[in-house]
Structure 1
Amino acid sequence: MKATKREWTGLAVLALPTLLLSLDVSVLYLALPSLSADLGADSTEQLWILDIYSFLLAGFLVTMGTLGDRIGRRKLLLIGGAAFTVASVLAAYSTSPEMLIASRALLGIAGATLMPSTMALIRNMFHDPAQLGQAIGIWFSCFMVGMLIGPVVGGLLLERFWWGSAFLLGVPVMVLLLIAGPLLLPEYRDTAAGKLDLASVGLSLATILPIIWGLKELARDGWSTTPLLAMLTGVLVGVAFVRRQQRLEDPMLDLKLFRTTKFSAALGISVAAGVVMAGISLQAALFLQVVEELTPFRAGLWLLPQSVAMILGLSLAPRLAHRLPTSTTAAIGLAISAAGLLVVTAGGLPALITGLTMTSFGIGMPMALTMNLMLAAAPPERAGSVASLAETSGEGGIALGVAILGSLGTAIYRGQLDVPADLSDNVARQASESVGSAVGIAHQLSGQLGSDLAAAAKAAFTDGMNVVAIVGAAAFLGCALLAAIALKEAPAEEKVTERV
């Protein structure tokens, strides 16, 4: 059944929270210096202001996706929108770091209701596979537009108003959602679902939160015992969570979904994309600001082409999938991304921007299709759970990419750094910590010694970035092969048994 004007208008309403959530992340980074000075937040409190949102967002996604299946996806979306509005006002007018941290925690929980609800409702509104693919492409494009214009919007707000305006940006958006949502969005819930299993909720939180926290700590401070133990605890609790789901008649997370080849392959590709893109994006941002010594604003401008390219890839993929098999379209996009990462290794600013633009364009193609495949592979009553699982995997993939590929780049940098012999051991040790430290020290040194240290640090960092790019290219080529094989259309007689 083809979607009507009502469904397409409803999609515009669903795009609002998506745009807002992507804006919120980039704007906060710009506001952090001024709000920290105003509230007197120390370094630890600043980290909690940044991280508490993503911790609770990731932790509650699975719970909220399942809850939406039970109580109604539109109802949960509107409840979350109202909570997000209240939390935004509280954050904007916070009078202490503790109040802002608590407000950000509430924003994270409210945000966890928005993403899976929007994706699940799209699955309910668009039944035609081609239109579903187009709708998901538009949804992803809105997310990328938010990331694209976030620094510009945030900069304009913070130049004219106080830091709280960054949080108030979401209030009119959510008010519009609360008004238009009941008029344009359908309600859907699984009438056969049982009660939400609170033990499963607790186990899922105890699985996800330690793992996400551990990955972020590893990315920030390097390898240490505490975050590794936290991640191990999360994995062990995760085993208990899986076993409980296997015993329940109405599980919080239906593990039968993973028996579907397309679902598992699409989820795996989505996670791998998050890992690689997070890793190379971190390296690229450091390269532009430390190696090329560009200001944050100029570095942001150089990154605009890759955001535009990803939007083009997201928009093109559903159209291309009309003419080519989905497996072929996804594989082509992943191959383009792999080629782009190899271009990055050619060295220099033009190669970096060209390669990132190719990579972003290519990855937009499978990302527009994998969510469609996951939603289509699951029965409609499980759409909320599938959407939340995909979002949770995306959060984990990004954290994993920063932790693992960031650590890989740092290890190569330290191994390749050729410190000038005239430096003291203490200064050499500081320079080996990071390229930022080395370049900062080089600027304080006079004459040839400073120039030699800066050149050595920049060369070592570039070597590390190239290794990350090569590893990412290999991962994308592997994903391209997986897409070509696992995402193929099943013969008609196999499709019935493949669905669960």
Structure 2
Amino acid sequence: MPRESAPITGAQPVVQLVASPLRRWLALALLMLPVLLVSIDNNVLTFAIPAITTSLGADGTQVLWMIDIYPLILAGFLVPMGNLGDRIGRRRVLLMGAVGFGLVSIAAAYSPTAEALILWRALQAVFGSMLMPATLSLIRNIFVDSKERTVAVAVWASMFSAGAALGPITGGWLLQHYWWGSVFLIAVPILLPLLALSHLLIPESKDPQPGPMDPLSIVLIVGTLLPITYGIKAASTGEPWLVSVTAVAVGLVLGVLFVRRQLSRETPMLDVRLFQRKAFSGPLLVNMLSLFSLVGFMYFLAQHLQLVAGMSPADAATFMLPGLVVMFASGLAVVPFARRFGRVQLMVTGVLVNMGAYGLLALMGHTGELWVVMASFVLLGLGVGFSETVSNDLALSAVPAAKAGAASAISETAYEVGSVMGTAVLGGLLNAFFAAHLRVPGSLSAEQQETASQTLAGAHDVARQVGGTEGQALLDSAAHAFDTGVGLTAGIAAVLALALAIGVGRWLRGVR
């Protein structure tokens, strides 16, 4: 049986290695700052939207774009920025992204209009796409020892997963004490140490033979990822099906053209042949669907805690902490087990634990009991922590160090697509089940009935307008419909996780 995970041969990167183990780990600590920041910013608006809507007078479409524009742009630009880092230097691109991200975040915090905030969020994503590929590719080149690199990647994956859950927590705490712009200003204190110490601790590295610039390939890859991501989003927000299908179709056509161009070039921007390697493509799928599970669960959790359980943003944030701690700790604890039992086996185990988390929610979620929600989130944190660490380590080990930037960008693109799909697919299913099970008082106007049936938040708004016994009846029905929808959606998610575990386990059989 061939050993699938043997690294592809290739030129070694231009890199000045950090002199001592202490400096390597200090460099890693510094690189975790932008990882945490970008991950937090993916969903920090979860709790800030009501305050922003009131302050800026944003309508429903503008609110959706405030949330969606960030992952859309981020997903589209990750691969080009990873390639740019391979070409001109990963540390250089990292610092360019840090300066730009910090300045744009300050501008976003003081946005005078909804349109201005949408623009700043888009620019945040452009600079954020410079940060993420650079961090993982620098780790690939700083930690040349495979055992050290496994630990370093575990820290990276744990920090990224923790940031995905920490976004709503941070937002909830800040909104409890400050105005909505504070959720953007957190970028400044996080990035200042990176800018001050990077030249002392982080070595520069790049591909010694990057080949000529290929603007057409950049246009094609952005044109592939943006429409596909938008099409997935549009499907979850009630857009006409033709819009979603057309967007995805355009992305797929451009994707085919991109692949054909890469195969025909002597020095492609992205070596698409990497996807033929099981040790690279299998972990990418796990990456994507682990974030799919996490973000979809966060969509349920944020609404249940605040609108069903009646918690304040700060209390909801505190409730999430155990799951967050387990997610971070399990990502680190899996390292010694990976060496003993094998990374593929533990990656599949993580997916199965995710299935267990959703299975518990499917069986007991309709009760609305907080212990069920807590136990499910802790289980999910355990599974995501396991699977993300070993999947990233496998994928990163399957490529030459000189191509680490582009490979890292592909891995993070899988993260972003999974994040978008988590809200689009699981959130869309939940909204559909909610509408099907909601019972609204007959005295409501057609407009009120439409608003109440779209989302749980919409039902709460209508209930406040109506008041009295009818308002309370609507609230009770909305809570029951939401929890019923959570149970049904979780059942579907559990089946998907089981299918993923079986499929990846068979696909990676024999990989060492």
Assess same fold via TM > 0.5: yes
C-alpha separation in 2, matches of 1:43 and 1:427: 15
Tell me, yes or no, if the aligned pair for 2:75 and 2:413 is still in contact at 8 Å: yes
Out of 400, 424, 431, the residue aligned to residue 410 of structure 1 is 431
Q: Is the 8 A contact 2:105 2:187 kept in 1?
A: yes
Q: Does 2:334 correspond to 1:325?
A: no
Q: Distance in 2 between matches of 1:48 and 1:357?
A: 31
Which of 425-434 and 353-362 deviates more? 425-434
AA of the residue aligned to 2:492 = V
Question: Do 1:276 and 1:472's aligned partners in 2 also have CA atoms closer than 8 Å?
Answer: yes
- Paired AA for residue 196 in structure 2: I
- 1:401 equivalent in alignment to 2:422: yes
Residue 314 of structure 1 pairs with residue 324 of structure 2? no
- Which residue, out of 268, 276, 282, partners 1:251? 268
What residue in structure 2 maps to residue 73 of structure 1?
Answer: 90
Q: CA deviation at 1:76?
A: 1.3
Partner of 2:21: 4
Task: Give CA deviations for 1:71-106 in whole Å, capped at 9, x if unaligned.
Answer: 111121122222223323433455555544443332
Per the alignment, residue 484 of structure 1 pairs with 505
CA distance in 2 between counterparts of 1:291 and 1:179 reads: 45
Give the fraction of aligned pairs with identical amino acids, expressed as a percent.
Answer: 36
Q: What residue in structure 2 maps to residue 261 of structure 1?
A: 278
- Distance in structure 2 (CA, Å) of the matches to 1:404 and 1:444: 30
- Would you say the 8 A contact 2:47–2:172 is kept in 1? yes
Q: How does 1:167-246 map to 2 (within 5 A)?
A: 167-221=184-238, 223-246=240-263
Q: Which residue of structure 2 lines up, in the alignment, with residue 381 of structure 1?
A: 402
Structure 1, 264-273 or 147-156: larger mean CA deviation: 147-156
Contact kept, 8 Å, 2:173 with 2:314, in 1: the verdict is: no
Change (3 A) 1:296 1:228: farther
User: How far off its partner does 1:14 sit?
Assistant: 0.5
Q: Which moved more, 1:341-350 or 1:447-456?
A: 447-456
Matched-pair contact (CA < 8 Å) for 1:3–1:128: no
What's the CA shift for 1:206?
Answer: 1.2
TM norm structure 1 = 0.88
1:290-439 correspondence to structure 2 within 5 Å:
290-345=307-362, 346-347=364-365, 348-418=369-439, 428-439=449-460
Task: Please give the secondary structure, in 2, of the residue aligned with 1:344.
Answer: helix
Distance in 2 (alpha carbons) for counterparts of 1:249 and 1:39: 51
Contact 2:157 2:392 in 1 (8 A): no
Equivalent residue number for residue 497 of structure 1: none
Q: Shift of residue 453 of structure 1?
A: 4.2
Unpaired stretches in structure 2, ≥5 consecutive residues: 1-16
Among 290, 294, 299, the residue aligned to 1:273: 290
Deviations 1:394-451 (A, max 9, x none): 1111112211222222233333345567777765555433344345445555776555
Cα separation, partners in 2 of 1:308 and 1:24, compared to 1, 3 Å: same
Deviations, residues 344-381 of structure 1 (Å, cap 9, x unaligned) = 12132211221121122112101011111111011111
Q: Would you say the 8 A contact 1:420–1:449 is kept in 2?
A: yes
Q: Distance in 1 between matches of 2:123 and 2:323?
A: 32
Partners of 1:421 and 1:162 in 2: CA distance: 39
- Cα deviation, residue 229, structure 1: 2.0
Q: 1:10 and 1:213, CA in 2 relative to 1: closer, same or farther beyond 3 A? A: same
The whole-number CA distance in structure 2 between the counterparts of 1:315 and 1:48 is: 35
Please tell me whether the aligned partners of residues 161 and 385 of structure 2 are also in contact (alpha carbons under 8 angstroms).
no
Q: 1:102-121, aligned counterparts within 5 Å?
A: 102-121=119-138
What SS does structure 1 have at the residue aligned with 2:296? helix
User: 1:359 and 1:102, CA in 2 relative to 1: closer, same or farther beyond 3 A?
Assistant: closer
Amino acid at match of 2:324: S
Shift of the 3–483 alpha-carbon distance from structure 1 to 2, 3 Å rule, reads: farther
Provide Cα deviations, 1:196-251, integer angstroms capped at 9, x if missing partner: 21001111111111222232233233554323322222222222212211211211
Segments of structure 1 that go 5 or more residues without pairing to the other structure are 492-500
**How far, CA to CA, are the matches of 1:428 and 1:44 in structure 2?**
19
Q: Secondary structure at the match of 1:386?
A: helix
Q: 1:169 to 1:225 in 2, by over 3 A?
A: same
Matched, 1:468 2:486: no
- Separation in 2, partners of 1:434, 1:85: 34
Between the aligned partners of 1:80 and 1:428, the Cα distance in structure 2 is 46
Change (3 A) 1:243 1:182: same
1:14-38 superposed Cα distances (whole Å, 9 cap, x missing partner) = 1111122234345445555556666
In the other structure, the counterpart of 1:498 is none
In 2, Cα distance between equivalents of 1:428 and 1:40:
23
Q: How does 1:111-190 map to 2 (within 5 A)?
A: 111-147=128-164, 150=167, 154=171, 163-190=180-207
TM-score with structure 2 setting the length = 0.86
Given the superposition, is the C-alpha separation of residues 477 and 130 from structure 1 closer, same or farther in structure 2, using an over 3 Å criterion? farther
> SS where residue 454 of structure 2 aligns?
coil
Q: CA separation of 1:395/1:3 partners in 2, compared to 1, >3 Å: closer, same or farther?
A: farther
Tell me if the contact between 1:32 and 1:46 (Cα under 8 Å) persists in the aligned partners: yes
> Which has the bigger relative contact order, CA under 8 A and spacing at least 6?
2
1:18-61 CA-partner distances (Å, limit 9, x unpaired) = 12223434544555555666656555444444433332221110
Kept in 2, the 8 Å contact 1:91–1:167? The answer is: yes
Aligned residues: 491
The answer to whether the Cα contact below 8 Å between 2:344 and 2:390 also exists between their aligned partners in 1 is no
User: Does the aligned pair in 2 maintain the 1:68–1:76 contact within 8 Å?
Assistant: yes
Q: Which moved more, 1:336-345 or 1:34-43?
A: 34-43
* Residue number in structure 1 paired with 2:6: none
The answer to whether the 8 Å contact 1:49/1:100 transfers is: yes
- How far did residue 65 of structure 1 move? 0.6
3-state DSSP of counterpart to 1:196: coil
Quote the Cα distance in structure 2 between the aligned partners of 1:19 and 1:282: 20
Residue type at the aligned position of 1:376: S
Q: Offset at 1:130?
A: 2.3
User: Which letter does structure 2 place at the counterpart of 1:87?
Assistant: V
**CA distance in 2 between partners of 1:37 and 1:276 (Å):** 31
Contact 1:279–1:468 (CA<8 Å) still a contact in 2? no
**Residue 5 (structure 2) aligns with:** none
Paired residue secondary structure (1:461): helix
- The residue identity in structure 2 corresponding to 1:331 is V
Rounded to whole Å, the distance in 2 between the matches of 1:415 and 1:99 is 37
- Hey, what's the Cα distance between the residues in 2 that align with 1:37 and 1:120? 41
The amino acid of 2:407's aligned partner reads V
* Change in CA separation of 1:12 and 1:424 when aligned onto 2, cut-off 3 Å: closer
